[in-house]
A and B are shown apart, each in its own frame.
Chain A
Amino acid sequence: MIPAPFDHITPRTLDEAIRALASHGEEAKLLAGGHSLLPMMKLRLARPKLLVDLSRIAELSGIEAERDRIFIGALTTHYRIESSELLKEKCPLLPQTARVIGDVQVRNRGTVGGSLAHADPAADMPAAMLAVGAELLARGPEGERWLKAEDFFLGLMTTALGPSEILTKIRVPVLSGHHGTAYLKVPQKASGFAIVGVAVWLRVERQLCTEIGVGVTGLDAKPFRARRVEERMKGTNLAQSLVQAASSQVTQGVSPLDDIHASAEFRAHLARVYTARAIQEAAKRAGV
């Protein structure tokens, strides 16, 4: 379990980090919490020549509210999200999701930016970000751009980030009105990652669901927003039979993953069951 030789630098500014990326190309890798990258390096499945360590770049950490938006630095750990009073009050889906990532050690080291950029098809955070309609700020040699979470995940461990771009910030809305959220996952028993994870937030006005976001992870090669389910739920009273019917749509157009931990068929089944359960849980919390 010894990685191939590599160099390690700790830039103090984003620009310095971007320059290092740009000049080393494919050979360089950003290092955040290291909890996805280092295991791969130890197995020599990844052999970067240079690690650009983000830990000294102060502006990458922290959680701040600005009017109806909350900004989360990419280097914020899962633990910080889990324990943030601000998020618990204004966007509780994120702490609910962070709470079930790995174990204490993993949450103390792993970062939200690392999780999103790594785009493991079974990671938890992407589901929550999709559900709340998060936006991601990428910064590269050409400057900054905002990306919608839905446009960010392109496929198995691939994102819309360019080779020299750094994910710096995530922007999520303050959830207002009568709302409810839930993240439910079936963990793969060895790794703790999601066999299926479903994140839901919904708003209820006069007993009707006016807005809903459903993010799904673990099921497909990339996490996705279950638009079909959302369409069917919007405007309804969230009655159980309607939730069931809508949830059965979650697997439409999806090709479920298949591995020793769960067959494609079982994953699809679990996705339907857990989508329904997550919507019901969120509805309950919204007071329906």
Chain B
Amino acid sequence: MPISKLVGARVKRREDPRLIRGLAHYVDDIQLPNVLHAAILRSPYAHARIRAMRTDQARRHPGVVAVVTGNEIRDQVGCVPVASQNPTLRVPKRYVLAVDKVCFVGEGVVVVVAEDRYAARDALDLIEVDYEPLPVVSDPEKALASGAPVIHPEWPDNVAFRFDLKQGNLAKAFKEAERVVKQRLIHQRLAPIAIEPRGVLARYLPGEDELTLWSSTQIPHILKTQLSVMLKLPENRVRVIAPEVGGGFGSKLNVYAEEGLIGHLAIKLKRPVKWIEGRRENMQGTIHGRGQVGEVEVAVKKDGTILGLQYRVIADIGAYHQLLTPGIPPLTGLMLSGAYKIPALAIEVTGVFTNKVATDAYRGAGRPEATYVIERIIDRVAQELAIDPVKIRQKNFPRPKEFPFKTATGLIYDSGNYQGALNKALRLSGYQGWRGEQRKLREKGRYLGIGLSTYVEICGMGPSAAMPAGGWESGTVRVEPTGKVTVLTGVSPHGQGQETSFAQIVADEFGVPLDDIHVIHGDTAVVPSGIGTFGSRATAVGGTAVFQAAQKVKEKAREIAAHLLESDPEDLVFSESRFSVKGVPKKGVSLQEIALEAHLARNLPKKMEPGLTATSVFEPANFTFPFGAHICIVEVDPETGRIEIRKYVAVDDCGKVINPLLVDGQIHGGIAQGLGQALLEEVVYDEEGQLLTGSLMDYALPKAEDLPRLELARTETPTPVNPLGVKGVGEAGTIGSTPAIVNAVVDALAPFGVTHVDMPLKPEKIWRLCREKKERRAEGAG
């Protein structure tokens, strides 16, 4: 084993200098000669028939090159794809531009292509569309009621799919229960809001018959395959490039109508076409996350032992599916056991069409919902049984020696020490001391609350058998003739920092300086194959592929070295980037010399192929299951409903840590978004399906001033699933934080008899609850 130098070190992100200095190239920074600009007219109605369209004035507008409607291209461009094996799935046709009918506000109706962005935008105002408004249903529960407006006539019940999972003897669990606790929970829709909205640039070279499409995407390789289908082009003629991508959070883990549309226009017009999304379009037309309404019911014993759990949930799908829409709520189902031993479980998911944009993966994707359900209900149980929320969790944890631990939902948790993480968080937060403080303050009429969340999540996606589009990942390592190292990875980093962490892995393996390594990603013509970045998989799966490729290269180098040194490969030692004969350090050859020799190929072992490069495709045998404990302490002012976070401690275990700086960064951002859901964020549509939170002046993202000082710590339980022992950390912060914050606020309000508050915990809700409960008490007393 080489002594690790860089893996585990707080290496600064190599990506940052170009980002900070404005030298990075996002889609909009890429300049092509002769480029055209597209603008899309979007539906102002949530549900309407398109009776007529008048586009002639727009066509005549100076600078306009083309105006295209849905009907004109319905047979030329395939529909937006959805990846799912669910047999109950119903897939309405989603054309890249609406045909005859629109089903949500923001659905694309007409595209204008012009010489510049201004002309394209101005021409949109000249298009007249005659809409016949249809009845709208925007609330998923109402969509299920009989007599509700029907969105797709083929399916009058508005059901998009069902997903059920049932394990263990639930009837017995509820029969034997000493207490049953029920709670209705709402996971409000959230907007992912990547700082860089979507953007697509397409260029078609008719001579070469090649389409290159730059897109702000997390999945260039999947997009390439899907585009070839949508555009009916041979896949080997399509190249997708994800240049610098300014955040995704799951919103760019998709294949969008605009990607197909812009690709098509570039082919048809034989000129490059660019489309850059505006923020308003981003909020209307990109996916939303979450959007579940459910009821959870648990059967428990008086001592807090959980016997069984049932969750019935309605998932708000929106008008059409996007790529992974039907795959998200089932993830919630699979993760419902949380960090606990629950012998019997049942989940019933009903996906429901509504006149809204689709929901799909948003940071955490199904797991924040699961964690919220289990962490909220376990606190409800603790409150009802008057057990300390710490004790009830400890009682139901699997012990470290019980791993690998099989849940009733059929997952196998790879490794864990839930108690260890919780103990650390308790110690760091001074939990017991805060309980004392809480009692004291309550006597003075001040309301302190302490909230816990002991989460486990599912990462490292994943074994291909369990994935809709492959779960492996590829990595290529090449030592150039000059000794510099090129790494190609199939993952597509967009903020996670793998240009740094993958270089750390390879630098340690080869004993070369970090600066000698260049990590390339996001170009399907350069990186032979890949799946992409999502589900906190990049390091666990993609990092492993790179690690294994590096090992392969090293093995080949060893053989070449042995050949050159006329020694047995087994007799060589590798140190400081050099193979030498055991005991004869002077007799050696450097990796650089080996690489040059491999390239010149004049003196290689017999039958060996020239070059010093290797590719590895890693197929994980299981998911990984990071976990942790978050503790949040809040003070609530019942008079104004204001919530102040007084302390926040997060202990996260993501397995082996390659770069603590990157891990901290992921946790920070994750907690910010989890806090956003708990306290601030909410996509609001009215009854008519109009989006009321269509800009950042109305949709409240957390700002620096909203975040408390975060005290982060770790435990490190390696996973046996991959040789690096890493689990993944991209979503943990979002998953762990939300319930900790909500639990803290509910705990603060316990003296008022409050047992639950729905997110986001806006001041007005808190104030109303306190007032109502106070009044009811006064009446009771009177």
Contacts and interface: CB of A to CB of B under 8 A. Distances in A.
B121 A266 contact: no
Given A43-B280, A266-B767, A260 B639 contact: no
Pairs of residues from A and B, 9 with the lowest C-beta to C-beta distance, nearest first: A189-B700, A190-B700, A2-B121, A191-B697, A266-B764, A1-B278, A190-B698, A189-B680, A260-B692
Contacts of B693: 190, 260
B680 A269 contact: no
A270 B98 CA distance: 45
B50 interface: no
Interface string A242-280: 000000000000000000111100100110010000000
B321 interface: no
A260 B684 contact: yes
B767 A190 contact: no
Interface in A177-212: 186, 188-191
B647 interface: no
Interface string B435-478: 00000000000000000000000000000000000000000000
A4 B125 contact: yes
Contacts of B764: 262-263, 266
A266 B278 CA distance: 34
Contacts of B280: 1, 43
Given A4-B122, A190-B700, A266-B763, 18 more contacts: A1-B278, A2-B117, A2-B122, A43-B280, A189-B680, A190-B696, A190-B697, A190-B698, A190-B699, A190-B701, A260-B684, A260-B692, A266-B764, A266-B767, A269-B767, A270-B640, A273-B639, A273-B640
Interface residues of A, number: 20
Contacts of B279: 1
A261 B684 CA distance: 11
A270 B639 CA distance: 9
A155 B118 CA distance: 35
B656 to A, nearest CB: 38
A231 B680 CA distance: 38
A186 B640 contact: yes
Nearest to B679: A189
A5 B118 contact: yes
Contacts of B125: 4, 44
Nearest to A262: B764
Interface string B259-283: 0000000000000000000111000
Nearest to A190: B700
A44 B639 CA distance: 40
A104 to B, nearest CB: 11
Interface string B268-300: 000000000011100000000000000000000
Nearest to B277: A1
Contacts of A189: 680, 700, 706
B94 to A, nearest CB: 25
Contacts of A5: 118, 122
Nearest to A43: B280
Interface string A26-47: 0000000000000100011000
Contacts of A44: 125
Nearest to B637: A273
Nearest to B693: A260
B118 A2 contact: yes
Contacts of B699: 190
B767 A191 contact: no
A218 to B, nearest CB: 14
Interface in B94-143: 117-118, 121-122, 125
Interface in B745-777: 763-764, 767-768
A164 B122 CA distance: 29
Contacts of B278: 1
Contacts of A262: 764
A158 B299 CA distance: 60
Contacts of B763: 186, 266
Interface in A1-15: 1-2, 4-5
Contacts of B639: 273
15 contacts: A1-B279, A4-B122, A4-B125, A5-B118, A43-B280, A186-B763, A190-B696, A190-B697, A190-B699, A190-B701, A263-B764, A266-B763, A266-B764, A273-B639, A273-B640
B672 to A, nearest CB: 14
B705 to A, nearest CB: 9
Contacts of A4: 122, 125
Nearest to A272: B639
A43 B698 CA distance: 14
Contacts of A260: 684, 692-693, 698
A14 B594 CA distance: 77
Most buried by B among A190, A191, A262: A190
A44 B697 CA distance: 16
Interface string A220-233: 00000000000000
B447 to A, nearest CB: 16
A233 B307 CA distance: 62
A4 B122 CA distance: 7
Contacts of A39: 697
Contacts of A273: 639-640
A190 B699 CA distance: 6
Contacts of B122: 2, 4-5
Interface in B646-687: 680, 684
A261 B698 CA distance: 8
A1 B696 CA distance: 13
A188 B640 CA distance: 13
A191 to B, nearest CB: 4
B535 to A, nearest CB: 30
A269 B697 CA distance: 23
Contacts of A263: 764
A1 B197 CA distance: 12
Nearest to B276: A1
Interface string B208-239: 00000000000000000000000000000000
A1 B763 CA distance: 32
Nearest to A1: B278
Contacts of B684: 260
Contacts of B680: 189
A28 to B, nearest CB: 20
B775 to A, nearest CB: 14
A269 B763 CA distance: 12
B365 to A, nearest CB: 24
A84 B181 CA distance: 59
A126 to B, nearest CB: 19
A188 B693 CA distance: 13
Contacts of A190: 693, 696-701
A153 to B, nearest CB: 21
Interface string B23-40: 000000000000000000
A115 to B, nearest CB: 16
A191 B767 CA distance: 22
Nearest to A269: B767
B124 to A, nearest CB: 10
A64 B684 CA distance: 47
B716 to A, nearest CB: 37
A212 B607 CA distance: 96
Nearest to B281: A1
A215 B572 CA distance: 83
Nearest to B279: A1
B739 to A, nearest CB: 21
Most buried by A among B117, B698, B768: B698
A213 B85 CA distance: 68
B116 to A, nearest CB: 10
A3 to B, nearest CB: 9
Interface in B694-722: 696-701, 706
A263 B767 CA distance: 12
Contacts of A186: 640, 763
A90 B553 CA distance: 74
Nearest to A2: B121
A113 to B, nearest CB: 22
A190 B702 CA distance: 8
